[in-house]
Amino acid sequence: MNYSNENIDLAAIYNYTEYPDKQAGRCDNCDHSHFQSKVKDGKFLRECRNCGMKEFI
């Protein structure tokens, strides 16, 4: 499944297995490569520092 033609909801947390990166290591929403990372609910959470898009890796 791919969200390239959909609007990205910045309040949602996406799952990498369902929505892999369009370009490896870059945010699909704003194309920046700066992330802050943490563990949430036993999963690795990556958040874009520019737009705030969140994704479980």
Whole-angstrom Cα distance, residue 25 to residue 10? 18
pLDDT in tens, 24-49: 999 999 999 999 999 988 999 999 99
SS3 of residue 6 by DSSP: coil
* pLDDT at residue number 6: 63
Enclosing domain of residue 41: 13-56
Q: Indicate whether 6 belongs to any domain.
A: no
pTM of the model: 0.80
4 domain-assigned? no
Sorting pLDDT into bands at 50, 70 and 90, what band is 5?
very low
Structure confidence at residue 1 as a pLDDT band (50, 70, 90) = very low
Number of domains in the chain: 1
Does residue 23 lie within any of the structural domains?
Answer: yes
